Amino acid sequence: MTWRTGEETATDVGRLCAVSRRLHEVLGISSLVARGPALVVALDELSLQHAWHAELLFEQLPLRAGYDREAAVQLGGVASPLDLLASLGAAGDDVGLLAGYARVILPRVTLSLEVVSQSTTEVAERSLRRATRLICSDLAAAEPLVEQLAEGMIAASGAAEHAVFVVGDLEGVLGARTGVLGD
């Protein structure tokens, strides 16, 4: 485990909070234009789950004089891939949205949460460790459902090539990052 400063941890937690807020918006709006009741329900539930995760993460930001918690909630370099995901959802591209979310965004968010969790100390950051583990557990439980929906939609519409294209686009925008947070 690499030791990290409190500021580094706060920056990553703020970014994860921003990502969760943005995913809440993206999936919530997408649920309004999605086709098929199973997809609408799944997107709505995932949206609400991300909203709750954002609240949990926000509560883990430092609470001290002179520290602006809201200012720490910044997407930074991950705004572009989330904007791409939002444009897919708003356009009603259910296959592209699900492929991008299931195969790129969700795994990278989970990985980033695991990195933050593993870099915390049990004594000093017990609450943050508990919050990140809980969120990882929620996302791991959602992953099979999202993947099943994506696979079903891709097979039904014959859109495998489109799904691969969207995944490639998102991977290209994220570049060499191993998670959503950093290099």
pLDDT, one tens digit per residue, over 97-121 is: 999 999 999 999 999 999 898 888 7
Q: How far is residue 57's CA from residue 42's CA, in Å, rounded to a whole number?
A: 22
Residue 146 burial (10 A CB sphere; 0-12, 13-18, 19+): buried
Write down the pTM of the prediction.
Answer: 0.92
Q: Based on the structure, what is the number of domains in the chain?
A: 1
Q: Is residue 110 part of a domain?
A: yes
3-state secondary structure of 142: helix
Q: Is residue 179 part of a domain?
A: no
**CATH code for position 156:** 1.20.1260
Range of the domain at 148: 6-174
Please state, in angstroms and as integers, the Cα–Cα distance from residue 94 to each residue in 100, 149, 156, following that order. Answer: 10, 10, 12
pLDDT at 157 over 60: yes
Q: Is residue 93 part of a domain?
A: yes
